[in-house]
Amino acid sequence: MKTTIEFYGWAKRLAKTDKAEIDLGKVAATLRNVSIEVAKKFPELLGNILSPETFEPIETYRYNVNGTNTAQNLDVYIKEGDKILLIPIVAGG
């Protein structure tokens, strides 16, 4: 299964791109599988935005699926064609 990851804010600067295709190589995958693949492809994110141990984002970042559902944990299954966003939690000024 392939999916698209979009990067925002610091994640975009670290990844040096705003989006990428991730090949998960299997039919059923969770956000954690996505995060592991993202970390392999963009190691600059590890230790900055993604935990090297759990691959979970730091407190100020979240994975979001298709712009609607922001995930509270990474054990959420995704579907073929889902767009995954790595977003900062926004706040104004």
3: left (phi over 0), alpha (psi -120 to 50) or beta: beta
Sign of the dihedral through C-alpha 49, 55, 56, 62: positive
Binding residue (CB under 8 A) for other proteins from 15, 38, 49, 78: 49
Residue 21 or residue 59: which is nearer to other proteins going by CB? 59
* Min CB(82)–other proteins separation in Å: 13
Round to the nearest angstrom and report the end-to-end CA distance of the chain.
40
* Positions 22 through 41 that interact with other proteins (CB under 8 A): none
Count of CB atoms situated within 10 Å of the CB of 48: 13
* 64: contact with other proteins by CB under 8 A: yes
The footprint of other proteins (CB under 8 A) covers 6, 8-10, 12-13, 48-49, 58-60, 62, 64, 66-72, 85, 87-93
